[in-house]
Amino acid sequence: KEVKKAITGNGNASKDQVAFMLNKMVSLPDEKLKNDATDALAVAWCHYMKGRGLPGAVKKKTHQNNKKSDWASFVADNPDRVKGL
């Protein structure tokens, strides 16, 4: 449902609706793709778009050694490096 919603705006869309919208977005060849190919393309398109993020959005960076990189975890891990105000 997540892929259908991302492609068509409706999580209950039919396979034909998904194929129609994909054709509009990526200019598919004139011959109709099989349902499995359309499904695979829809998943790939969603993966591609999710990796791009929103235009102008800043992705939160994480340090290579930390799963979570934020000030709270830094302070908790390094109390000796925090100066009082």
Domain residue spans of the chain: 2-81
pLDDT 10s digits, 22-78:
888 887 776 777 878 888 888 888 888 777 655 555 555 655 665 556 778 888 888
CB 60 within 8 A of CB 21: no
Please write down the long-range contacts of 57-64, taking CB distance under 8 Å and 24 or more positions apart. Answer: none
CB 3 within 8 A of CB 46: yes
Full-model pTM: 0.53
pLDDT of residue 74: 80
* Phi, then psi, of 48 in degrees rounded to 5: -60, -45
pLDDT of residue 21: 87
- How many Å apart are CA 68 and CA 12, to the nearest integer? 35
* Structure-block tokens of residue 52: 């791009």
85 pLDDT higher than 70: no
